[in-house]
């Protein structure tokens, strides 16, 4: 049986840094950027460890602005 690997893409310009996705991630893989901000001045979310994501979509489900897209791939 193959393992599911996930990856997320955050639309940085739409993200308002509400932190809901960071709290919702069961693997603690998301953070808000400490220094970088988008054009609106918000610290946006980013994935801090790409190898551990399992593609559960918790982050995308709680995002109020639909800024997160989750991709899932089955590895052999």
Q: Are 44 and 10 in contact, with CB atoms under 8 Å apart?
A: yes
pLDDT bracket for residue 1 (50, 70, 90): low
- The tens digit of pLDDT for each residue in 39-68 reads 999 999 999 988 899 999 999 999 999 999
Q: Show me where the domains of the chain are located.
A: 3-75
The DSSP line for 38-55 is -TTSPPPEEES-TTS---
pLDDT bracket for residue 13 (50, 70, 90): very high
Assigned CATH topology for domain 3-75: Alpha-Beta Plaits (3.30.70)
Percent of the chain at pLDDT above 90? 83
- The pTM of the full predicted model, rounded to 2 decimals, is 0.87
CA distance 32 to 27: 15
pLDDT bracket for residue 75 (50, 70, 90): confident
């Amino acid at each position: 049986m193959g393992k599911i690997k996930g990856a997320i893409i955050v639309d940085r310009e739409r993200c308002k840094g509400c932190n809901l996705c960071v709290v919702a991630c069961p693997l603690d893989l998301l953070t808000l950027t400490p220094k970088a901000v988008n054009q609106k001045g918000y610290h946006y979310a980013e994935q801090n460890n790409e190898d551990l994501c399992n593609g559960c979509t918790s982050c995308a489900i709680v995002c109020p602005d639909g800024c997160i897209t989750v991709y899932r791939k089955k590895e052999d």
